[in-house]
Amino acid sequence: MAIPDKKIYPRTNDFETVYLKGVITNPNIVVDDYTIYNDFVSDPTLFEVNNVLYHYPINKDRLIIGKFCSIACGAKFIFTSANHTLKSLSTYPFPIFFEEWNLDKKHVISAWDNKGDIVIGNDVWIGYEAVILSGVNIGDGAIIGARAVVTKDVAPYTVVGGIPAKEIKKRFDEETIKKLQQLQWWDWSFDKIRQRLPYIMDGSVDKL
């Protein structure tokens, strides 16, 4: 059973943690079931405004986040419009100021380099004030360290950290990672997950 689309708070009297799916209104942000965001500085229901930056409709790029992800306070997703184009001889975004420079308005998007969607897999943990840049794909089960700046794709079940983020280690051996990717437990029914929780929580992949 999926959580109701509009359920916001997973815990009684905890207003710092939200189910993101329940607070998203932007059609270009897609968040799946049980993914949580915690914010002890700002209102977590303002995730779209405070955490998804330079995300303008004209670019049609999307933020896609899977199931059972945990996103820590201050994590940021920075989109295409932050990337002033490198094709020009100048980094100044002339096309944005088309009126001032008598340019064609339809060329506004040439002011930046479009690197595409940000795609976060399932069961991903994104640490405190981490930054994910446009065009990045993060695989299932990955962990992004606190204040890491992720500029490149992250493989499933990989721990990364630093600026720019680099691999620190794999969470499990290759055989375990392969089994987890085949099982895709996050797609199971609510009852099946609840039944298998003891094995999920104690790391008993062979009992799943």
Q: Could you say which of 62, 84, 166, 170 is catalytic?
A: 84
Comparing CA positions, the residue from 191, 186, 183, 184 lying closest to residue 1 is 191
Distance between first and last Cα of the chain: 19
Cα separation, 117 vs 121, in Å, equals 13
CA–CA distances in Å: residue 135 to residues 8, 118, 119, 151: 28, 5, 8, 8
Residues 65 and 20 sit within 8 Å (Cβ to Cβ): yes
**DSSP category for residue 205:** G
- Give the dihedral sign, CA 186/188/194/196: negative
84 as an active site residue: the answer is yes
* Cα 198 from Cα 29, distance rounded (Å): 32
Residue 76 has φ and ψ, to the nearest 5°, of: -125, 145
As a whole number of angstroms, the distance between CA 53 and CA 48 comes to 8
Provide the annotated active-site residues.
84
